[in-house]
Amino acid sequence: MLGLNVNIDHNSGFCFGVIYAIEMAEEILEDQGYLYCLGDIVHNDEEVQRLQNKGLRIVDYHQFGKLTNEKVLIRAHGEPPSTYQTALQNNIQLIDASCPVVLKLQNRIKRTYDSSKPVYIFGKEGHAEVIGLKGQTNNEAVVFGSYEEMNTHHFPQEITLYSQTTKSTTELYNIRDAIEARGTKVELKDTICRQVSNRDQELRAFAANYDVIVFVSGSKSSNGKMIFKVCKEANPETYFVSSVHHLQKDWFTQNQRIGICGATSTPMWLMEAVKEHIKSL
């Protein structure tokens, strides 16, 4: 055995929005034996599989539109108005676990749109949260993942700039500055979740304190991709895994200090499993 000293970052793991959604799902599964969920309840395949084993049934929008007289969970990412309209038409009882931070953002975007101001959203097109945000604008908001993606030749004179809640604060402000440098007035609404943004400095300090960092996250997690990059910058010996099966013994050498951390969509039980596997090497 390599005699590795392994520690988990105590600040890693589910954010409160994900905890709330999963607790609601587990309560209904315990009582009813099954529950439909519109999309993956969390962007972590291991956790999704655990809940599917308990009776969670993941459906997409097409399948959702065919359901009638059922209970359906709305996950923390939130949903566009069309989802609620479908539920009313099909007598679907929505178990709404939308994160309060996301709901507040949806309401702010809708107010801006209703006042006829151009809405720009820094986020990933097609991401579950962004679908809900864009839906508040009748799908007219401009969504972009980077400054380079934007059509910089057709900016209006003034825009209102929002952000998906899990994006980088630094990148958001850099984008604002770049747009303003082109002569467009930007009303910036910093809507990044502070539970996410505060992790930046915490993780940099954590990652720099270990010989090797193992970052645990689902491959679909936008938050995971962002904060993995943060860890990698602080410690080049940082490796991304989605399960214990991705661990490689040659990442480690005798008596090293190993740090384990993860995204806001990473369950603590999975990080614990990774820890135990590494200790057994």
CATH number at 209 reads 3.40.1010.20
CATH assignment of the domain containing 92 = 3.40.50.11270
Confidence band for 198, pLDDT divided at 50, 70 and 90? confident
On whether both 140 and 187 belong to a single domain, the answer is yes
On whether both 90 and 105 belong to a single domain, the answer is no
On whether both 92 and 39 belong to a single domain, the answer is yes
On whether both 181 and 217 belong to a single domain, the answer is no
Q: How many CB atoms lie within 10 A of CB 210?
A: 23
- Residue 155 is part of which domain span? 101-192
Which residues are catalytically annotated? 129
- Picking from 131, 165, 192, the residue at the C-terminal end of a domain is 192
Average pLDDT value for residue range 267-276: 97
CA dihedral 124, 137, 66, 98 (to 10 degrees): 70
Query: Residue type for 33, please?
Result: G
On whether both 122 and 94 belong to a single domain, the answer is no
The angle subtended at Cα 35 by Cα 30 and Cα 38, nearest 5°, is 140
On whether both 185 and 213 belong to a single domain, the answer is no
> Which residues, including other chains, have CB under 8 Å from residue 8's CB and lie 6 or more apart?
259, 260, 261, 268, 271, 272, 275
Using the predicted structure, report yes or no on whether residue 206 has a pLDDT greater than 90.
yes
How far is the CA of 155 from the CAs of 13, 54, 162, in angstroms? 39, 49, 15
On whether both 134 and 68 belong to a single domain, the answer is no
On whether both 223 and 170 belong to a single domain, the answer is no
Q: Find where tokens 């988990």 sit.
A: 8
Question: What is the value of pTM for the model shown?
Answer: 0.90
Model confidence pLDDT, tens digit, residues 111-151: 999 999 999 999 999 999 999 999 999 999 999 999 888 86
Say if CB 74 and CB 38 are below 8 A apart.
yes
On whether both 164 and 213 belong to a single domain, the answer is no
Q: Find where tokens 């740090």 sit.
A: 259
On whether both 159 and 202 belong to a single domain, the answer is no
What is the predicted pLDDT for the residue at 154?
A: 78
Domain count, the chain: 3
- Picking from 149, 167, 192, the residue at the C-terminal end of a domain is 192
Average pLDDT value for residue range 243-270: 96
What is the predicted pLDDT for the residue at 232?
A: 97
On whether both 9 and 22 belong to a single domain, the answer is no
On whether both 34 and 23 belong to a single domain, the answer is yes
Residues in the chain: 281
Model confidence pLDDT, tens digit, residues 16-58: 999 999 999 999 999 999 999 999 999 999 999 999 999 999 9
- The more confidently predicted of residues 133 and 153 is 133
Which tokens sit at 254? 């005798």
- Picking from 192, 208, 225, the residue at the C-terminal end of a domain is 192
Report which of 191, 123, 111, 119 is spatially closest to residue 158, judged by C-alpha positions. Answer: 119
How far apart CA 245 and CA 270 sit, in angstroms, is 12
